[in-house]
Amino acid sequence: MLLTFLLSNRERITVLLCERIRQTAPAYAYMPWQELHARVSRGVEAFLEALQQDDFAPLGRFITDTVIARTLEEFPLAMLHAGFTAFGDILLPLLQECYGADIARMLEALQRLHRLKDTALNTLVMSYETRARAVFQEQQERLRDYSQQLEQQLIRVGDEFQTLQDFNESIIQSMTSGLLVADKATHCILKVNRAMEHFSDFCAADVIGKTVEEVYAGLHGLPIKEFADEVERQGAITLRKHRLYTDDGREFYRSIKGQVFYNRQGASQGVIVIVDDLSTTELLQETFSRYVSPQVLEQVLNSRQRPSLQSARCDLTVLFCDIRNFSHFAAHHAPEAVVDVLNQYLDLMVEVLFVYQGTLDKFLGDGLLAFFGMPLPQADHPCRAVQAALELQQKLTDFNTSRRRGCEPVLDIGIGINSGEAIVGNIGCEKRMEYTVVGDMVNLAQRLQARARGGEVLISDSILVHVQHLVTVYNTIEEQFKGCEYLVRAHSIGPRVA
């Protein structure tokens, strides 16, 4: 949606940026409109291409092409700086126009675009430094042949270089991301910006020259040597949601990006580390936006008692759903047709789950796992799960009716539901965490689903006691399921008959 909106408004965005540049960069106030428009338009196209490909490379090429062929006199400092700044200024109104009242999606898009903008500014800094050094060297070589102009030329180049350095420093210090540069051989800190001082609670003057290991001795969760070795091996790595903790037990999450920086000969000099703070709101939003509806996400973010991502025991209801004989269907249809019908089916299922404020744990091939009662507590979670299951069956009946009209094969699903105590929270390893649910009661729900026939909903005794007013029991079985040490009573149900 965001990309479509920006693509359809690219000309308007270009015009807004041109007008803003003329206002904030006097040097370009008298540039012919067509020339200014053409330059800005190339930048907008590069930005949209980078966003479309989810790859910074197109924007990086634009910056490099803009800078590398120019002398210091021709560096478009003001226009590029004004362009990126102006883009940041118009982001919020554009996103409000795009998403309206959908604050969650607007914030997510705003963060994504700001990250791309900050990366562009960082690339601009490095491009200017690289080009400035090259130009400075060229000027030095030329000065040997023009000894009579040596003093004047050195003064001019020195002033220009200082201006460039001041500009680079201004960008680095104004970045919202923390930046740290460390030497490859010694791990000594060469530079930090103000944002990194804030994140780490230290003064730059106190840490420059010290090793990273010494400065961050009380911070755990990121083995520094292993991290540096991995950056050196891959060139760049990103840890999007990394958990760190201190000696006194405090924990927090950071987005950490490491990349190698090189000298003019292409030799590795050290590591640049860029750090972004993840607030509690951002962390919850990033985690739960994949599992719950926008309405539930808004309630989670606005709740006074926000749910914890730490694994904990909770009373909740689990629902498993699976298509019957889907392997046979897949074997007799083209892969494209299989994916298309599976996507239609899953869209239908998720839509119903979100109506009853269920949490989508994961897709399981042609099935899914969902639970009710977390992250928002729901006293009626058994009822919500059963109502969702009955509506799932009804929606699939309507779906099959439509498929029969088109002479297409129909789908049948079996559903199993169980209620009880389980572990819910972030489970996994540092490199991959998932908000999920585990426990014996989850396994039983899966066994019930496997036992259910196509079109059938099987629930346990722990569910029936809560939903008798909602359902009709068609059949009751008693069976010892795999992994259970006792007989389980399961009930085949349908909607309540008046």
> Do residue 288 and residue 377 come from a single domain?
yes
Higher model confidence: residue 318 or residue 41?
318
Task: Specify the range with the lowest mean pLDDT, choosing from 176-180, 271-275, 353-357, 428-432.
Answer: 428-432
**Confidence grade of residue 491 (pLDDT, cut at 50, 70, 90):** very high
> Do residue 329 and residue 429 come from a single domain?
yes
Q: In the chain, what percentage of residues exceed pLDDT 70?
A: 78
> Do residue 270 and residue 312 come from a single domain?
no
> Do residue 254 and residue 306 come from a single domain?
no
Task: Specify the range with the lowest mean pLDDT, choosing from 5-14, 270-279, 442-451, 454-463.
Answer: 270-279
Question: What's the CATH code of the domain at 444?
Answer: 3.30.70.1230
pTM of the model: 0.47
Higher model confidence: residue 449 or residue 304?
449
> Do residue 165 and residue 180 come from a single domain?
no
Strand order in the sheet with 251-262: 189-192, 178-183, 268-278, 251-262, 236-246, 219-220
Residue 222 token pair: 């990121």
DSSP symbol at 266: S
> Do residue 145 and residue 192 come from a single domain?
no
**Confidence grade of residue 58 (pLDDT, cut at 50, 70, 90):** confident
Higher model confidence: residue 96 or residue 194?
194
**Confidence grade of residue 67 (pLDDT, cut at 50, 70, 90):** low
Measured between alpha carbons, how far is 426 from 438 in angstroms, rounded to an integer? 11
Task: Tell me the pLDDT tens digit for each residue of 404-462.
Answer: 888 888 889 999 999 999 988 776 665 566 778 888 888 999 999 999 998 899 999 99
Taking alpha carbons only, the member of 188, 177, 214 closest to residue 269 is 188
Rounded mean pLDDT of 305-330? 79
Residue 291, pLDDT score: 46
> Do residue 86 and residue 221 come from a single domain?
no
**Confidence grade of residue 385 (pLDDT, cut at 50, 70, 90):** very high
> Do residue 346 and residue 248 come from a single domain?
no
Q: In the chain, what percentage of residues exceed pLDDT 90?
A: 10
Residue 1, pLDDT score: 64
Higher model confidence: residue 283 or residue 188?
188
Is residue 298 scored above 80 in pLDDT?
no
Task: Tell me the pLDDT tens digit for each residue of 459-476.
Answer: 999 999 899 899 888 999
Mean pLDDT value across the chain: 78
One-letter identity of residue 311? S
Domain boundary among 140, 174, 208: 174
Higher model confidence: residue 212 or residue 117?
212
Measured between alpha carbons, how far is 237 from 231 in angstroms, rounded to an integer? 6
Domain count, the chain: 3
Residue 45, pLDDT score: 84
Residue 81 token pair: 């700086």
Residue 313 token pair: 């025991």
Residue 139 token pair: 């000027």
Rounded mean pLDDT of 238-258? 76
Is residue 72 scored above 50 in pLDDT?
no
Contact criterion met (CB below 8 Å) for 370 and 353: yes
Q: Which domain holds residue 139?
A: 1-174
**Confidence grade of residue 177 (pLDDT, cut at 50, 70, 90):** confident
Is residue 274 scored above 90 in pLDDT?
no
Most confident of 141-150, 163-172, 259-268: 259-268
Taking alpha carbons only, the member of 71, 264, 33 closest to residue 160 is 71
Q: CA distances (Å), 3 to each of 62, 282, 299, in order?
A: 19, 22, 27
Question: What's the CATH code of the domain at 17?
Answer: 1.10.490
Residue 93, pLDDT score: 76
Measured between alpha carbons, how far is 264 from 262 in angstroms, rounded to an integer? 7
Measured between alpha carbons, how far is 60 from 73 in angstroms, rounded to an integer? 22
Question: What's the CATH code of the domain at 268?
Answer: 3.30.450.20
Higher model confidence: residue 239 or residue 278?
239
Domain boundary among 152, 174, 196: 174
Contact criterion met (CB below 8 Å) for 354 and 425: no
Task: Specify the range with the lowest mean pLDDT, choosing from 28-37, 161-170, 190-199.
Answer: 161-170
Is residue 485 scored above 90 in pLDDT?
no
Domain boundary among 217, 252, 278: 278
Stretch (H or E) spanning 449: helix 440-451
> What burial class does residue 371 get, using C-beta atoms within 10 Å of its C-beta: 0-12 exposed, 13-18 middle, 19+ buried?
buried
> Do residue 418 and residue 397 come from a single domain?
yes
Residue 293, pLDDT score: 46
> Do residue 260 and residue 132 come from a single domain?
no
Measured between alpha carbons, how far is 179 from 196 in angstroms, rounded to an integer? 6
Task: Tell me the pLDDT tens digit for each residue of 388-402.
Answer: 999 999 999 998 898
Contact criterion met (CB below 8 Å) for 199 and 275: yes
Is residue 62 scored above 60 in pLDDT?
yes
> Do residue 448 and residue 400 come from a single domain?
yes
Q: Pairing between strand 268-278 and 178-183?
A: antiparallel
> Do residue 341 and residue 417 come from a single domain?
yes
